[in-house]
Structures are given as structure tokens and as C-alpha cells.
Amino acid sequence: MEIFINNKSYTAEDGETIIQIADKFDIHIPRFCYHKHLSIVANCRMCLVDIEGFKFAQPACSTLVQDGMKISTQSAKTKNAQKSTMEFLLINHPLDCPICDQGGECELQDVSLEYGDDHSNYMQFKRVVVDRDVSPLISTDMTRCIHCSRCVRFGEEVAATKELGLLDRGENMKIDSFIEKNIDSELSGNMIDLCPVGALNNKPYRYSARTWDLSQKKGISPHDCIGSNIFYHIYNNKIVRAVPAENENINQTWLSDRDRFGYEGIYAEDRCKRPMIKKNEKLLTCDWDTAIKTLNQNLNTLKNEKKLDSLGCLISPQSTCEELYLFQKVFREFGANNIDHRTIEKDFDYQQDYPVMPTLGCDIKDLEAYDNVILVGVNIKKEFPILSVRMIQAQNKKTQFFSINFQSSNEDFNPAISLALRNDQLREFLDYLSNKTNKPNYIEEKMFHYIFKYIKSNKKNLIVIGPSIGQLPNQTEILYSLNQYSKKINADFGYLTEHCNNTASWLLGVLPHRLPLGKRVDKEGLNAYQMIEKKLSNYIFYNLEPECDFWNNDLVEDALKTSKMNVFFSSFMTPFIAKYADIVLPISTFAETHGSFINIEGSYQAYKQIIRPKKEIKLGWEVLNNLLFINGANNYTFDTLQNEIKNNIQDFDVTTNNNFKLSNQPLKYIQKDIFKFTLRNTYNTDQIVRRSKSLQQTRTGKLKNILLSNDLFSSHKKGYLEFIDKDKNIKSELYNSDQSLPHNTIAYQSYKIGDAFVGARTGTVKIKS
């Protein structure tokens, strides 16, 4: 149909609103309550426009276009309406812009300047709202609120966790949370962006800069494999805040709190600031030249003495593609084969049959095309908060979710079935789904009934395997059973991985058995677990926190104790590094280097350096390049390096990737004793997030207690918990029961219990009675 705005003709579709058309053609209409991803409420009245034939101006956000409609955004009637609305909105607004952080980027300020009047007729007292401290991430100044209700609708519609509501009415109306409740959700920061005024503001950023003094650089989230697009705001070469960069395919206009506040970890006190070398049992600072030369010498000695089998090279999949690629290249060039990134895994029997790289099996935006999505070993809300938004959208379009995890998942969407199973039960359960033999008796009949009724091979099904499965001592068995089941129900098969760049780590051959693009290695090296368990005499750790980034931190300490050379390329000086390192090379974090990540859909996303590192800290890829160069290879520039990687991967066809078959796995694993596992807590997942002060102050960040399943808890009568984990005796008073755990299960919420590390991430324990 044809409509006219300010006498110009535009084509519009049935069902579109005036504001949608105006936005499409860049005709500005002021608004407060309207947001393209939220429902329409038309309660602020700022978008009033003059429509021919209507006596009064109409709200553009809620008025549907009609053929031949003539709209004016300039006429006296529109202007009048805008002025009056603005005057009403300012009646109770404190006009405290000089002390408000929103100043300079405030929609109220902008609209008032452009459409408001220069004086007000209002002489009476203004309303004042008393603020409560509701979150370590969001500061509230509710007197500034104009009741647009965007924050409420965000909670209701996008996050499906309504934390703020509109209380009372009339002049007493205020936005608040439920009595004594805080804002705790993993997506809460989005309300800061949505709030058009300074009522909800970024607390850690508060009073640290004025918006017009900031510069903006684009980055990619380093905290999960979704790859959300982020704008970092920089003041004096320091990141002061992060906001979402719109990407309709990935994060839309949202950002998880982890992505928004995680960067704080860059500014942790324990950053490595200088290269260091151990001399006479003491770690002393040295210059870069000495550090690199010593490392190079040691490596060449190993090479000449043909002892490279005793070198373990481990890198974190949180590193950039460039670092990952160069890492395997450098150490392969020396002749090393023990190269791996899978430091949190234990069981590697699956690796020969594995696809070239793990992917989600579909694009993120296509999740809603599935009838059934079966989530195994993942709690989306806690581990991939930004995906929650997609899954809620999918659920609204009738996708059903089934969740099977070690703790029944508390999700923002509503899984049709949410099962909590131990790792031994998981295999039995999956096998029963495939073969219908040996029915597990711990699952209610009606659950099976439901599953068989809805998950059928003529439906569009997706199985998603979460990162917790990788930690299992019997992950191959589980993968095999899942693979079988996926064939049976004709499902797409996908993964969600531990870190932001696991996909690239596989694709670029940071593996003991494969080169880039999945090509076979002649002589297969040791996997990450073997490297640690076998106590090699030389280690290279890249971007890894030895205390928290491994399947078993006790074993890591044992290995570091006995080895002859421990080299750490690291951004942080952890206690283990301080104690056991022979060479420390301080390298950039994600923000201090150019880089790229491949997200779980297989999208390659590059970004430019966001801030410059401190003087003695070098860019990771440069250090690796340096090592190559002094051994006679060509010197890369960042661009030649990135191009080489891009050329390598551009022909790789993601779509064929996931069609694979795991070879049969006989059931080997038998569960005795109590099953224990480590939960992947949202704010504990990587070394940068672990150091984000604000995130650690949230409710989720503070979770430390050991969780006991109900049966264990009720049979446990002592005031403290004492149990044997392998040969370690663990005692703790901090524990509570958790009804979402399967029987006979203990879960750790942190890598530490008091000062002791938890040891293996998964396994068994015995409680002392």
C-alpha cells in the first residue's frame, strides 16, 4: 500500500505501524516506550503524529498504517502534541542532568531539546522516590523514571524473568522489584540500555567518565561461544563500559551481564606485568629478549636431543584464532606433537571420529525452526545467558525444549521436560530412548510417554550437547549414545562449547591428532589429560590458569612440581605460576590485541585492538611470531597472518561438518560411590570473568556452597561435611541440600573449597559418616 509521510509517498505492508515505516526510511519520530523488540503499550505519548482525518494526534507506535494515510511529523498539531507531552513528562522529572550519568546520551534530554518547550508552567512540588540498592550492576535513581515500562516489558517478554514491576498507581506509581528482592538475572544489564533516562544506570561505570569523552571500539565476546558483538567504550586507553553492538543474527540488541561486565577482569591486580625468569629458585624480572632467547634455547636443546616427546604444549581455547594457529605452528615446527586445547576433558576416546570442529548444527537465528530441541548437559540460563533470549523466542513460536542435565535446569524458558540424571543414568536413559530395552526405573512412565509422543523422526529435531559432558570421565560413551539416538530420531547434532574459540581450536588443528582443517597428524601426540597425568618434564601453558582451567587441578600441581621447565604465556600471575614457573611471558588479553573468534555457528568474526597493553606486555601472536622468526621462518604481519588463516578456512564447508558417526563404544564405565561434579557457574567460566569484581559481587558470583542431593543431605546428621575425594580429605561447613540434583550426587559450585582446590571436576567421592 501507499502512505504519505510529510507529503512524500512510501510503500508499506499491511500490519505495519507508522513508527516502523518511519524508522525504515529514517524519518525521526521521538519515542520513549516503543522499542522494536518489545511489545507496544503506547503509554508515553511522545510519538504522537498528526494524521489527516483524525481530530487528535495519534501515537505512531501503535497506529497501523492504512492505504492512502497522510501523516505529518512536522505540522503544528504534531509539534503541539510533542511539546505538551514533553511538558507532562518533565513535571516530575528532577532535571538533575549535571549529576546524572545519562547526560549526553539521554533520550529525554535529546527529545526535550529538540521537541520540548523552553519553559514549564509547573510550579508545584515534584514527586520523589526513595531508592533501594537492588544490584551490584545497576544503579537506580527512580525519581528520574518516566514510567515508560521498557524495563518491565524486557523482564516479562525478552528475559522471561520479571524482576521489575510497576507498583502503586497514579502519582505514587513507581518501578521497583518485589519486597526485599534484588535484580539477579543474567541479562539484567540490558535494562540499563533500554531505560531512556538515567533511572537505571551502569553502576560500575558510574561517575567515571562523560559520554562525549569516550571513544568506541568494536569487540567480540570472549566469554562464550555465541560471539555476541560488543562496543567497548574507552576513556584514556581504559575500557570503562561495554554495550551491545547490534547483530540480528547473533545477539540482536542484547548482551549478557557476563559480556557487559566481564572486561573488568583485564584490570585485575594480578596481571603479569614483566617477563620473568627463574634463577636460583627465585622468579626475577628480566627483559623480553632474555626471556625469548632462553625459551628458544631450551626448545632447541630439546629438539637437538630429540626429547620433544617430553614437551607438553597446552593453550586455552579462549585465545584468538591467530594465537591458536601460530601456537600449533610454532611448536609443530620445533617437532612437538603434544599439542592440545582440551584441558578440561578427561576421556578422549571419541577424538578419531569427531567432526572437524564442533558447531551448533544450525544458525543461532534458526533455532526457532525446530520442533524439538534436546539440551544435554547444559543450563542455558547459567552458561549461555544470551541464548536464553533466542530460546524464549523459539518457545513462543512452539519449539519444545527438553533438558537433561546433572542438575535439573532452572531455565528462563519452560522446558517441557527437565531431567536430572547422574552420568551413569544418562547413558542408560539415552540407550533406552534408542533401543527401548532395559528401561530405567528411576524415570516416571509419563516422561517416556511424553518424549516418545513428541520427539519423532518425522519432526525437526536438534540435539545440543553442552560443555559439562566434556568433563565426564565417560564422555565418549555419552557421545556415542547421543549419536545413536540422533540417527534414530533423525536429529541435527550440535554442541555448545566451554570457551569462545573451541571451534577454531579444532578447525585450526590445536590437537594432538589433527592438523588444521582436520588433516591427520603422522605421529599422534598426547592429549591434554595424558600430558598432565604423565608428568612430563617440560610444559608450555598459554593463556591458562593452572588452578582452574584443568580437569584436575591437583594433578596439574603434581606435574608442575616435578617438571624441569614450566613456561607460562599468561596475562595473570596466579599462585601456581608464581610458585612453579621457570619463564613467564606476559601477554595481552583479548582486548589488547587484534584478533578473531569463530563462534559456534562457524561464523568468523574479527576485531581490532581495543586498548593498548601496558608497556612490557606483548601481544600474544607477536611473541609466537618472534619465536618462529628467530628460527628462520618468515616474519608475519598481523594481516598476512590473518589472511593465511582466512584462506585456509574459507573453503571449509560447515554444513557437511556434523554428519558423522561415532564407532561403537562398549559400556565400560561403572558408577560406584557418590557422583560428584563441578557446576559451570556463570561467573566462574574463564580467567577474565573470574576477576571481574562487579560480577563476583552478584548473587551468582557469590555461590560457593557444596550442594548435596536430598537423600545425602537428609541422611547426613553432622554439622559439617567430611568426605574423601580420591585420597584427599575434604571438610566443609558450607553445604546445603539441593532438590534439583539426582540421588547420590554432590555438586561443587566453585573450583575451591575454602583454600583447597576441588581436584577432579567429575568423579566419585565417599562421605565419612
Partner 1 sequence: MNDINNNFFNNETCSMIENIKKKFPEDRKKSSIIESLLILQKNNNGYLTKDIITSLAKYLKVEEIDVYEVATFYSMFNTKPVGINTISVCTNVSCMLRNADNILNHIENKLGIKVGETTKDQKFFLKDEIECLAACNGAPMMQVNHKNYENLTIEKVDKILEEFE
User: Where along the sequence are the contacts to partner 1 (CB under 8 A)?
Assistant: 161-170, 177-181, 739
Work out which of 12, 18, 21, 33 binds ligand FES, going by CB under 6 A: 33
Comparing CB distances to ligand SF4, the nearer of 92 and 543 is 92
How far apart (Å, rounded) are the C-alpha atoms in residues 317 and 501? Answer: 5
Whole-number Cα distances in Å, 11 to 30, 51, 52, 262: 21, 17, 18, 44
Asked if 115 interacts with ligand FES (CB under 6 A), we say: no
Extract the C-alpha cell encoding 35.
522499542
49 counts as binding ligand FES under rule CB under 6 A:
no
**Residues contacting 714, CB < 8 A, separation 6+:** 737
Under rule CB under 6 A, residue 196 binds ligand FES: no
Among ligand SF4, partner 1, ligand FES, none, partner that 150 touches (CB below 5 to 8 angstroms by kind): ligand SF4
With binding defined as CB under 6 A, does residue 127 bind ligand SF4? no
Residue 197 binds which one of partner 1, ligand SF4, ligand FES, none, with CB within 5 to 8 A depending on kind? ligand SF4
**Closest approach of partner 1 to the CB of residue 733, in Å:** 24
Q: What is the C-alpha to C-alpha distance for residues 577 and 549, in angstroms, rounded to an integer? A: 13
Distance CA 548, CA 546 (A): 6
**Residue closer to ligand SF4 (CB basis): 134 or 194:** 194
Report the residue number, 147 or 217, with the smaller CB distance to ligand SF4: 147
> Which three three-digit cell numbers place residue 349?
576416546
Alpha carbon of 730 to those of 705, 724, 725: distances in Å? 13, 6, 7
Of the listed pieces 26-34, 154-162, 384-392, 527-535, which binds ligand FES according to CB under 6 A? 26-34
Closer Cβ to partner 1, 155 or 219, answer by number: 155
The answer to the question of residue 47 lying near ligand FES (CB under 6 A) is yes
**Closer by beta carbon to ligand FES, 74 or else 249:** 74
How many angstroms separate the CA atoms of 317 and 319, rounded? 5
148 binds ligand SF4 (CB under 6 A): yes
Which residue, chain included where needed, has cell 560443555? 467
Is residue 86 a contact point for ligand FES (CB under 6 A)? Answer: no
Alpha carbon distance 10, 441 (integer Å): 64
Q: How many CB atoms are located within 10 Å of the residue 296 CB?
A: 15
**Beta strand 583-586 with 595-598: parallel, antiparallel or unpaired?**
unpaired
Which is it for strands 174-177 and 164-167: parallel, antiparallel or unpaired?
Answer: antiparallel
Q: Which three cell numbers stand for residue 574?
A: 596466579
- Out of 5, 12, 49, 61, which residue is the one contacting ligand FES (CB under 6 A)? 61
Q: Which is nearer to ligand SF4, 158 or 585 (CB)?
A: 158
Q: Is 45 in the site for ligand FES (CB under 6 A)?
A: yes
* Position 151 contacts ligand SF4 (CB under 6 A): yes
* Residue 46 contact, options ligand FES, ligand SF4, partner 1, none, Cβ 5-8 Å cut-off depending on partner type: ligand FES
| 394: nearest Cα among 416, 423, 377, 427 | 416
Least separation in angstroms between CB 86 and ligand SF4:
15
150 binds ligand SF4 (CB under 6 A): yes
Q: Using H for helix, E for strand and C for coil, what is the string for 290-355?
A: HHHHHHHHHHHHHHHCCCHHHEEEEECCCCCHHHHHHHHHHHHHHCCCCEECCCCCCCCCCCCCCC
Note whether 145 binds ligand SF4 by CB under 6 A: yes
DSSP 279: E
Contacts of 147 (CB under 8 A, 6+ apart): 43, 44, 166, 173, 175
Q: Which three cell numbers stand for residue 681?
A: 557457574
Count of residues of this chain found to bind ligand FES when the rule CB under 6 A is applied: 11
Which helix (H) or strand (E) segment holds residue 429: the answer is: helix 423-435
**C-beta of 34 vs 604, nearer to ligand SF4:** 34
Please select the residue that binds ligand SF4; options are 200, 356, 430, 627, rule is CB under 6 A: 200
Minimum Å gap between C-beta 175 and partner 1 is: 10
59 binds, among partner 1, ligand FES, ligand SF4, none (CB under 5 to 8 A by kind): ligand FES
Q: How far is the CB of 687 from ligand FES (least distance, A)?
A: 43
Closest to 736 (Cα-Cα) out of 760, 764, 714: 714
Measured in residues, the chain has a length of 769
**DSSP label at residue 406:** S
Give me the least distance between CB of 199 and ligand FES, in Å please: 16
Reference 681, options 694, 693, 699; nearest CA is 699
Nearer to ligand FES, 170 or 719 (CB): 170
Binding partner selected for residue 181 from ligand FES, partner 1, ligand SF4, none, CB under the kind-specific 5 to 8 Å limit? partner 1
- Select from 197, 482, 544, 584 the one that contacts ligand SF4 (CB under 6 A): 197
Give the one entry of partner 1, ligand FES, ligand SF4, none that residue 51 binds, where binding means its C-beta sits below a cut-off of 5 to 8 angstroms depending on kind. none
Site for ligand SF4 contains 195 (CB under 6 A): yes
Among 159, 199, 380, 560, binds ligand SF4 (CB under 6 A): 199
38 binds ligand SF4 (CB under 6 A): no
> What is the C-alpha to C-alpha distance for residues 429 and 437, in angstroms, rounded to an integer?
10
Residue 42, interface with ligand FES (CB under 6 A)? yes
38 binds ligand FES, rule: CB under 6 A: no
Which of 22, 46, 239, 360 is close enough to bind ligand FES by CB under 6 A? Answer: 46
Task: Kindly compute the dihedral angle of the four CA atoms of residues 348, 353, 355, 359, in this order, to the nearest 10 degrees.
Answer: -50
Look up residue 277 and give its three cell numbers: 625468569
Task: State which of residues 5, 18, 57, 59 lies at the interface with ligand FES (CB under 6 A).
Answer: 59
Binding site for ligand SF4 (CB under 6 A): 145-151, 175, 194-197, 199-200
Residues in contact with ligand FES by CB under 6 A are 31-34, 42, 44-47, 59, 61
